[in-house]
Chains A and B, each alone.
Chain A
Amino acid sequence: MTDVGYLGAAAEPAPPGRREDEPPSAGPGGAHRRRGKPRSLSRDAWRDLRGNPIFVVSAMVIFILVLMAAFPGWFTAKSPTFCDLNLSRGGPSSEAWFGYDVQGCDVYARTIYGARASILVGVFTTLSVVLIGGLVGMIAGFYGGWVDSTLSRITEIFFGIPLLLGGIVVLLSFPSGADASEWQTIGKVVLTLGVLGWTSLARIMRSTVIQVKHADYVMAARGLGGSAIRILRQHVLPNAVAPVIVYATIVLGVFIVIEATLSYLGIGLQPPVISWGVAINQATEFARQSPHMLLFPGIFLSVTVLAFIMLGDAVRDALDPKLR
């Protein structure tokens, strides 16, 4: 039997002067890019995102919300703390677009000012979760062995405490005095949720690191004597960035909702801190009679979460190499 040869295996590029064909597509219908700037995942992703209407809309909404959180005065001249009991539970009018709440405070003003606490909690909790979970997952995945076993057990243990339940127990055990500052209260909530909520990210990070660890170029880097930190920074992190970003954008919305739920239950952020959850908490007693007190903060809450989820979806579609 003659030796087997693979067809066209040792092909050379066509010499100049002939009709130059472009490189073959990976399958029927593959697109072609111009030669030139080297393609990178982030550059391609950014270009896809720019053209994606969902991304653009949700990014704009988030931008507006951030402005609202940072400069609430731009959005309303009214004060959220000036309350007139005579106006209690008044409906929407030309004076107060969203009406008045139980204590006679302007709902619109409170909703605008409430953006800050909610968004701060969301952002900082996400950051802490990324830090804690990322670190745990990276170390567990990279070093393997008993380090991995121990860290994975710990991850399982914290995974066993559902976020809301754990948050309730912890926050109840560390009540804030009436004189606690806004930042103290926010910090407490952030810390609690951060300490309880890092497990999913740790798992994502760990599996990414394990995948990358076995890649040839990482083996090569280790063989060449690269230090662990260097390898982690140069090879592992860039690959882990994509799934972490997608998860972080989506979970930011989740944390905002959890904070709102905790506040609604009466722990977590509390008056005098203004947040959407606090507003809803104060609105529940008369919710059936005066739904507007609940509705408007609820709408703002939902729109915020919606924006983050859609953003996360758009980012994931852009970063997913399978869809290229």
Chain B
Amino acid sequence: MGRYVVRRLLQMVPVVIGTTFVIFAMVWALPGDPFAGKCGDRPCPAPYIAVMTDKFNLDEPIFVQYALYMGNLLQGDFGETFGGVQVMDELQLRYPATLKLALVAIATEILIGITAGILAGLRRGGFADALVLVSTLLVISIPVFVIGYLLQLLLGVKLELFPVTVSAGAPLNELVLPALVLASTSLAYVARLMRANLAENLHADFVRTATAKGLSRGRVVGVHTVRNSLIPVVTFIGADFGALLGGAIVIEGIFNINGVGGLIYGSIRTREGAMVTGAVTVLVIVFLLVNLLVDLLYAVLDPRIRYD
């Protein structure tokens, strides 16, 4: 297991380098004006261009640019906007809200999604199954921003069950509705995946053996079947986390949450390219880290992987 962990860590390094390089290249190094779209709707002011060219070494060959950029990144310097705001400062201010939102969303996704999937998978063709199938289909089809507005309207404005927008400081209880909306699509996928896996595993040989051992149905399903069915679901949750981060941008915009997503949402509107790029780079690195964690968790769940 230790060897597997080290191997995965080492594999991460070139991927992080490659991914940040691709983003950097797409923003600063492709043909065209690298400062297009970074200063609102106007062309960038000359002093800004000078500062950024110097900071990102845009006159140097691309790989030198990138190497120096990485150096800056590791020191926490993500550049600055044309308004003179340090990207890093904003990020540090904003990340707690997004962190809370994301954690609640993932917790919701896991708890509700897996439970719904188990219930549906156990009684194939039953009421719970049909309910889960139909509701997940609807949730997947309706884009997250539409769901966001609808629920904000229904539950926030009309029924006044939840606060319409989230106050500064993002207290947890106010994050419930936004987190639920954010998790909705992923939750639906998790439920469907869990349902399919469980239903399939219930016919597996090892489940038959467990039953033949005289174990109770509850134990056969809860201990033996669920554990095996979770494995692909865990992988999915990791891969889907990227979509969750993207969705956070939309949700934080709708519910006025002061997180990194809201930062990106606002910066898109004001065309502050440096801020967007910096924030997205951070999110991408977080995504890669989460994937690493998921891979390690996968190895814990499935011992066959460890001994490759």
- Report A's interface with B, CB cutoff 8 A: 153-154, 156-166, 168-170, 172-175, 253, 257, 260-261, 264-267, 280, 284, 287-288, 291, 294, 298, 301-303, 305-306, 309-310
Contact = CB atoms under 8 A, between A and B. Distances in A.
B3 interface: no
A261 B143 contact: yes
Interface in B196-253: 239, 242-243, 245-247, 249-250, 253
Contacts of B18: 153-154, 156-157, 160
Interface in B1-53: 14-16, 18-19, 22-23, 26-27, 30, 32, 34, 36-38
B245 A161 contact: no
Contacts of A310: 137
Contacts of B284: 160-162, 165
Given A162-B243, A302-B143, A168 B249 contact: yes
Given A165-B280, A168-B280, A265-B268, A309 B140 contact: yes
A302 B143 CA distance: 7
A175 B36 contact: yes
B145 A264 contact: yes
B277 interface: yes
Contacts of A287: 149, 153
A288 B264 CA distance: 23
Interface residues on B, range: 35 or more
Interface in B268-306: 268-269, 271, 273, 276-277, 280, 283-284, 287-288, 291
Contact of A264 (B137, B250, B264, B291): B250
Which 4 interchain pairs have the tightest Cβ spacing?
Answer: A162-B242, A164-B246, A157-B18, A306-B141
Contacts of A309: 137, 140-141
B93 interface: no
Given A162-B245, A165-B242, A305 B264 contact: no
A275 to B, nearest CB: 13
B130 interface: no
Contacts of B146: 280, 294, 298, 301-302
Given A161-B284, A166-B23, A169-B276, A261 B144 contact: yes
Contact of A169 (B137, B247, B280): B280
B137 A306 contact: yes
A321 B140 CA distance: 26
